[in-house]
Structure 1
Amino acid sequence: MNNIRILCILLLFLPHGSLEAQNDGELIRLCFEAAKRKNVEGYSAVCRYLYTIEEYPEVLLVYADSIRQLAIRDKSLNAFLEYYSWSGEAYFMKGDFPGGFDWKRKALVLAERTKQMGDAVAICSDIGYYYNVATRYDSARYYLKKGIYIAENMPERSNQYLTMLTNYASSFLFEGKTDSALVHTLKVKEQSFLEKDTAMLIENLNQLGAIYRRKKNLDACIRYFEQALSLCEAQGNFGIAAYIYGNIATVYSEWKRPKDAIPFSEKALKYALKLGTPQMIGICYVNLGAILCNIEGKREESIATLRKALPVLQKVNNERRLCEAYNHLTNAFRKLGQTDSAMVYLRKLDGLVGELKTDVERFRYYEAKAPLLQANRRFMEAISYYHKMIDLIDHGIYDTKDYDYFLNLSVCYHAIHDDASAYKHLQKAYALRDSANNRKYAEHLSDFSVKYQTKEKELEIVTLKREQLEQETYMLRHRIIVGSVISLLVILLLGLLYARQRQRARIVLLASAASEKEHQFVELQKETELRLTRKYIDGLESERGRMATELHDDVCNSLLALEMNIRTISAEESPGLGEQLDLLSNTRERVRTLSHELMPPAFQYATLDEMLADYVLHLSLPENMYAEYHSTEGVDWNSVPKLIGFECYRIVQEAVSNAVKYAGSACVRVNLALENNNLSILVTDDGKGFDMSKKTKGIGLRTIWQRAETIGAKVELTSAPGEGTRLKVNVLI
C-alpha cells in the first residue's frame, strides 16, 4: 500500500513539463481536481480516465477505495456500486480475472437490489465480455442473456444492447460452434443496419468473415471482409481495420500462400502499434509469427516475432492467445531442428493446457506435441497424442495431413518393436490414398459382420430361453420346500411371541417414562449451558467494545499527542529522533488497527459477504503472506440473520488471527457459501499445523466453539503437523 501512495504522490505532484505523454498530463489535472472536490464525482472521473487509457491499475484501486470511504461515511449505496464496479475493472486491468469477476458480481447484485437497471445492463455487458476473454463461454452467455433481457425495454441502452448481442454471437465463434455463431451474427447485423450503428455493423461484418473462413466458404469470407474494410476506411476506424487485415492474412495462409499473407499481417501490426492497444498488438504479433513459421528461411524471424508477443499477452492475461504463441514457437524450433528449445515452449504450453476449450485448439496442441515427442524418441507418448488427433479427426476435425499421422504412428510402433501395429497403421496410411476402394471394402466387411452378429444373436436368444425355463422349474420346486418349512416355524414362533408380547409391552412403558425424564433433564442442561454461553459472549463483546473505545479514544490519541510533542524537538539536537518517531507512528497505527478489529461490525449497512470481503482485503499481513476470499455467486446475502452474520464474522476473525499469529503459513483462504439455507464458512491455511491428539484448545478455539453454540452451528477442525489447518462452520438459517 505504501508503494501505491508513493505512486499517487508522484502522479499528483510531478511537474507537467517533465511528462512526455499528454495522457499523464490529463491524469494529473483530474487528480488535482479530485483532491479539491473530495466527492464521488471527482474520484469517479479519475477512475473513468484510468479505465480509458488502460494503465495504472493500482492507482485505480486507490481512487476506488476513496469512493468506498465516502460510501461508508455517507451510507450511500450508489457510492458502494461505483466502488465495486471500479474495483472490478482494476483487477481486470491487472489480469486478475477471478478478482475482477467477484467485484463485478457484487456490483450487479447491488444494482439489482437498488433497481439501477441501467447500471445492471452495463455490468452484465462487462462481465460477459471478460468471460469471453477468459474462454468461459457458458458463463459469458449467461450474463449477456441477462443483460439483453433487461436492455430490451430500455431504448436508451440500444448501443449496449447491440454490443451484448455481438459478444453473445462471438462466444459461439470462439467455442468453435460456427453454425450458432452464424445465426446470431446475421440477426445482430440486420439490427445494426436498421439502427444505423456503423461501428457495430463493421464488427458484425468482420465476425461474419471470420465465421465463413472457418466454414471454408472463401467467397463469402472475402466479401464480408471487404465490406467491413470499406466502412472502416470511411469512418477512420483503424483499430477494427487491423483485426480485419489480420483475418485476411490468415485466409491467405490457409490457402497455402503465406508469402501473399505477409503484407496484410504487417499492415495489421502497423495499425495495432500505432493505436497502442496491448491486446491487439499481442494478437497481431502471433498472427505474423504463425505465417512466417510456414515459410522456409523465415523461421528465425518467426521466432523473434512470436517472442515479442509473449510479454504483451502475459500483461493482459490473454491465456488463449498465449497458447497459440507457444504452439507456433514449438513448431518453429522443431522445424529448425532445435528440439531442446522446442521442449521449453512445449512445457510452457503444457502449463496452459487447461485453457484449451475447443477441439480445434486441442488438435493444434496435439499436432505440435506429437512430432516433437517423436523427434525426442519418446515414442510411447507420441503414440498417445497421435491417437488423440485421429480421434478428433473421426469426430469432425478436417485435416488434409491425416495420411502423415498414420504414417508417423507406424514409425513409432516400429521403433518400439510392435511390428503388428506398425504394419496395421501403415496399411491405413496407404488406404487413405484410395478412399473409394477403402469405403467399398468397409461396406463388404460391414455386411458380413451384420449377418454374423444376427446369427449369433438368434443362437444366444434360444440358449437364454432354455436356461430361463430350467431356472424357473428349479426355483418353483425350491419355493415349495422352503414355504413348507417356513410355515411350521411361523406357527411355533407365534406362540412364543404372544407369550413375550405382554412382558415386552410392560418394559417399553417403563423405558419410555425413563427416557422422557432423561430427555427433559438433557434439554434443561442444554438450555442452561446455552444461556450461560450467550451471557459470556455478550460480556466478551461488551468488553471488546470497551477496549476498542479505550484504545482508539485514549491510547491512540495519547500516542498522537506524544508524537506531536516529540516532533517539536529540533532534529539537530537529536539526530536519531526520526527513526524513533517512525517506530512511534507505526505503534499508533497498529493500536488503531487493533481497535478497529475489536469494534463490533455494523451489519445494518452491509451484508456478511461484504463485511468479510472488506476484512480480508484490508487485512494486515506479514511479509510474504497473502489472503484470499471467495463466496457463492448469485446469492442474496441479506437473507442471513444479523445475529448469525455477527457471530460468523467474529469466528472468521478469530480463525484468521490464529492462522496469522501461529500457523507460519504463506496463504490464508476464506470461503463463504450459502446453499439451500445452509451457510458454511471454510478457513484454511498451508502453515505448520499441529497434532490434534496432543494440543488442547486455546482461548481462541474455545471462543469459536462457544460462538458456534449460540447460533446452533457445527464446527469441524482438522490439522496435522506440516499439513496446515482447516476450520469449517455450518449453520442453518
Structure 2
Amino acid sequence: MHRIISFLLLILTLLFVSEWSIGYAQNLSKAVMTNQELLLAKKVDSLFREFDKAINSTPHQAMEYAKKVLDISETGGYEAGIANGNLMLGRAYFGLSNLDQAYNYLTRSLLLFQDQNYRQGIVLSHKWLGTVNRHKNNSEGALKHYLRASELAEDIKFDSEIPKITQNIAAIFLDQKQYDKAIEYFQKSLPEIQGEYGQSVCLANLGLAYLRKGKKDKAMECFQQSIDLCRSKNDEVCELLPLGHIVTLYTNLGNYDKALEYSLAMLERQEQAGSILELLELKNSIGLIYLDMGKFQSAVDFFDQSRDLAEQIRYRNLAYIHANISLAYEGQKKYDLALKHHWTFQDLKDSLFNAEKDRKIDELLTKFDTEKKEQEIVILQKEKELQGAELAKQAYERNVAVLGSILALVIAAIFGFVYQQKIRASQQLVIISNLINEQKTMELVRENEIRAINANIDGQEKERTRIARDLHDGIAGNLASIKLNLSKKRTPPLQTIIKDLDETYHEVRIISHHLMPPKVEETPFIDLISHYLYDIGEMCNLELKLDYYPKEGIDKLPNEVKVEVYRIIQELMSNIVKHSQTKNVGISLTQIESNLNLIVEDSGVGFNQSKKTDGIGIKNIFDRVNKLKGQIHIDTAPNQGTTVNIDIPTQTEATIFA
C-alpha cells in the first residue's frame, strides 16, 4: 500500500518540478524586423503573458492563447511566432496530460527553431521533450534531450534555464533511485536559481531525495526551509510542494493522522489554485491515506472525486485510480464493485502502460484474481480446522467417542475440499484453453482481414490503371482528333469550342496520369506529391501548402509505403474537393526516427463523426492505414474544419505486405 502512495506522490512531485522548471523565451529576436513583424511580435508577447498566467491553473484556457499565437503568426507569415506557437501548444497539451500531442508539437517547434537557428528556442524544445519523455517513462530519451538542452544552454550562456535543466536531470536520477546523484544535482542547481519560488521548489525536491534515501531528519529540514521561503513571499500555493512531501514522510512513518492533517490543509489551497491536474492527484492521495486508516467509505468518496476530474482531462494514470477504488470496495467487502473497477484498471493499464513498469503495483492487486481468492478461502479453512482441532483436544478428555466423530468429519471435509479444488483446477484449465483458442482465432481473422484489404486495394489499383488507359487511349485520343479536325476550319464561332476541347483534353490527361500507379522509383517522393498537389490545385482552384521534413529521409522511404501514402493523400484530397467547401488546405509530412507522420488540414465545413457514413473514400483510407499497420485520428466537427493525423511505422519489419 505504501508503494502505491509513494508512486502517485512521486508523480505529483515531478509534475511540480517540471511545471516550475519550464521557462519561455519571451523576448523574440528583433534584429532586422519589419513594422508588420514588430506588430506581430507585440501581439505574440501579449498573448504569451496571458498564456503564462493560465498554463498552471487552467490549461484549457492556455491552449486557446497558444492557438491564437499560431493562427496570427501563420496568417502574417511570422516564422518566429509559428515556432513559438508550436512550443506553447506542446506545453498546453502536456498540462492536459495529452503526451502524444505534446510530443508532436514540441518536435515541430524544435525543427522550426533549428531552421531559424534560434538557439534559445532549441534549448526550450529539447527541455520540454525531455519532460514529456520522462512522463512517458522513457528515461533514456528524457536524459538525451536534457543533456542536449544543458549543453546548448551552457554554450549560449542561457543562465536562467541552466539550473532548471539541471533539476530535471536530478529528477531522472530520482526516478532511477540513484539518490546520491539526485542530491548532487539538486545541490548543484540550488545556488544558481534566481527567486524565492524557484529555490523553494529545489529545496523541496532535495528533501524528497533525502527522504527516499532514508534520511528523514535531513529531509524535514529541507521541507521546512522550502516552506519558510514560500511564506516570505506570502505565497500559499508555493507551499503545496513541500507540504506534499511532508505528507509522504508521515505516510512512510505510518503516522496517518498527521499525513491526513497536512493533506486536508493542502486541499483547501489547491482548490484555490485552480489546477485540475494537481487537485485530482491530491484527492487521490487523500483517498490512499483513508484507505490505510481503514476508513473505506471516505477513501471511496475521494477516489470518486479524483476519477471524475481525471476523466475531464483524460489523465494518463486514470487506471491506478480505478485500482485504488477497487481496493477500497474490497475493504468494504463489496466484491462485485471491487472486481468491476479491477477489470477497468486492467483494461486501461494494458492500453497505456508498459507491463514491466507496473509489475510491483500488479503484485499488490493480485488479491482480486480468482486464484488469490481461492488461496484466501484455503487459509480461512485451515484456521477453522485448527480451531476444530483445539476443541477436539479439549473434548478428548471428556469424551473419546466425540473426538472420533470430530476427527472423522475433519478428514471428510479435507477430502471434500481437495476434490473441490481439483474440479476448480480443471475448470480453470478449460477456461484458459478456450481463451487461447479464441486468441488464435482472432489472429487468423486479423490475418484474413489484412489479406482481404490487400486484395481489395490491389484490385482498386488494377481498376485505376485500366480506367487511366481507357481515358488516355480512348477519350483523350478522340478529343485530340476532334480538335485537329475543327482546327482546319478556324472560323470565329469554332475558336471557343476548340479552346474548351483543349482544356478538357488536358484535364483528362491529368486525371489519367493520377490514376496510374505513382512512379515512386523514378521520381523523388516529395517532388511526386508536389506535382500532384500543383495539378489538383490548378484544376480545382485550391490554395495548397505542403510542409515536409526531412526531404532526404522521406524520399528514401520503402516503395510500398510511398505508394500507399500517395494514394491516401489522393483520397483525402478527393474528399476535401467533394465535401469540405474550402479553398485552403495544409499538408504536412514529418519523419521522426522510424515513423512517418502525415497531417492534412482544411478549414471547411467539417462533419459530425457520430453519424456513420457509407462513403468508400474514407473506408479506403482506413484500409490503407491498416495495411501499413499505422494509426489514424480524425479531429472534426460541423463548421470547424477537419484535421486528419496519421502515424505510419516505416521500418522494414513494420511494413510487411501480405
Give the TM-score normalised by the residue count of structure 1. 0.49
Aligned to 2:541: 552
- TM-aligned CA distance change 1:325 to 1:213, over 3 Å: farther
Shift of residue 417, structure 1, vs aligned partner: 5.5
Superposition deviation, residue 152 in structure 1: 1.1
C-alpha contact 2:67 2:85 (8 A) present in aligned 1:
no
Counterpart of 2:171 in structure 1: which amino acid? S
Between the aligned partners of 1:540 and 1:122, the Cα distance in structure 2 is 33
Q: Deviations over 1:16-56 (max 9, x none)?
A: xxxxxxxxxxxxxxxxxxxxx98454256335524531223
Superposed, 1:65-214 pairs within 5 Å as: 65-67=70-72, 69-70=74-75, 74=77, 76-155=78-157, 157-192=158-193, 197-214=195-212
How far does the alpha carbon of each residue in 1:251-277 deviate from its partner, in whole angstroms, 9 at most, with x for none? 222222212221111111111111111
Q: Any idea what SS the aligned residue of 1:230 has?
A: helix
Following superposition, the deviation at residue 291 of structure 1 comes to 0.7
Shift in Å at residue 667 of structure 1? Answer: 8.3
Native 8 Å contact 2:576 2:602 kept in 1: no
CA contact (8 A) 1:212 1:220 kept: yes
Counterpart CA distance in 1 for 2:272 and 2:101 is: 31
CA contact (8 A) 2:201 2:241 kept: no
Which stretches in structure 1 are left out of the alignment for 5+ residues?
Answer: 1-36, 383-412, 419-528, 555-585, 627-657, 672-681, 688-715, 720-733
Matched ranges for 1:446-485 at <5 A:
none
In the other structure, the counterpart of 2:68 is 63
1:311 correspondence with 2:313: no
The one-character-per-residue Cα deviations of 1:514-573 (angstroms, maximum 9, x if unpaired) are xxxxxxxxxxxxxxx999x98xx999998985774464399xxxxxxxxxxxxxxxxxxx
Equivalent residue number for residue 226 of structure 1: 224
Determine the C-alpha separation between the residues in 2 that align with 1:241 and 1:543.
Answer: 59
Partners of 2:366 and 2:186 in 1: CA distance: 35
What residue number does 1:328 align with?
Answer: 324
SS of equivalent to 2:86: helix
C-alpha displacement of 1:661: 1.2
Q: Structure 1 residues 258, 550: closer, same or farther in 2, change over 3 A?
A: closer
Name the SS of the counterpart of 1:319 in structure 2.
Answer: coil
Which amino acid in structure 2 is aligned with residue 207 of structure 1? N
Question: In the TM superposition, what is the alpha-carbon distance from 1:717 to its structure 2 partner?
Answer: 9.3
5+ long unaligned stretches in structure 2: 1-37, 380-416, 423-517, 544-574, 634-654
Native 8 Å contact 1:58 1:90 kept in 2: yes
Greater relative CO (CA pairs within 8 A, separation 6+): 2
What is the distance in 1 between the residues matched to 2:276 and 2:220?
27
Q: 2:265 aligns with which of 244, 263, 267?
A: 267
**Largest Rg, 1 or 2:** 1
1:153 Cα deviation (Å)?
Answer: 3.0
On the 8 A contact 2:110/2:125 being kept in 1, the answer is yes
| 8 A contact 1:85–1:107 mirrored in 2 | yes
Q: What is the CA distance between 1:108 and its match in structure 2?
A: 1.0
Say which SS state the counterpart of residue 377 (structure 1) adopts.
Answer: helix
Aligned CA-pair RMSD: 4.7
Match of 1:152, SS state, is helix
Amino acid at match of 2:145: Y
After alignment, is 310-319 or 258-267 more displaced? Answer: 310-319
Q: How does 1:608-647 map to 2 (within 5 A)?
A: 615-618=599-602, 623-624=608-609
CA distance in 1, matches of 2:535, 2:188: 65
Alpha carbons of structure 1 residues 546 and 176: separation in structure 2 relative to 1, 3 Å: closer
Q: SS of the counterpart of 1:148? A: helix
Aligned mates of 2:364, 2:123 — CA distance in 1: 42
CA contact (8 A) 2:66 2:85 kept: no
CA distance in 1, matches of 2:539, 2:420: 79
User: How far apart, in 2, do the equivalents of 1:328 and 1:668 lie?
Assistant: 41
Distance 1:126 1:609 in 2: 19
Q: CA deviation at 1:325?
A: 2.6
Aligned to 1:429: none
Residue identity in the other structure for 1:624: Q
Question: 1:184 and 1:547, CA in 2 relative to 1: closer, same or farther beyond 3 A?
Answer: closer
Give, in whole Å, the separation in 1 of the partners of 2:150 and 2:95: 25
Q: Match of 2:374, SS?
A: coil
- 2:609 maps to amino acid: N
Question: 1:111 offset after TM fit, Å?
Answer: 1.3
**Offset, 1:222:** 1.5
User: Contact 2:227–2:242 (CA<8 Å) still a contact in 1?
Assistant: yes
Q: Assess if the C-alpha contact under 8 Å between 1:624 and 1:666 holds in 2.
A: no
Q: What amino acid is aligned across from residue 204 of structure 1 in structure 2?
A: C
Residues 344 and 252 of structure 1, relative CA distance in 2, 3 Å threshold: same
Deviations 1:585-609 (A, max 9, x none): x99995864x767x9x9xxxx9776
Task: Specify the SS of the correspondent of 2:105.
Answer: helix
- Other structure's SS at 2:254 match: coil
Find the aligned partners of 1:172 and 1:539 in 2 and give their Cα distance. 48
Q: Which residue identity does 2:184 align to in structure 1? A: V
How many angstroms apart in 1 are the aligned matches of 2:528 and 2:275?
59
What is the aligned counterpart of 2:278 among 277, 280, 297? Answer: 280
Distance 1:174 1:367, change over 3 A: same
Distance change >3 Å, CA 90–CA 669, structure 1 → 2: farther
Which of 295, 299, 303 in structure 1 is aligned with 2:296?
Answer: 299
Counterpart residue type for residue 101 of structure 1? Y
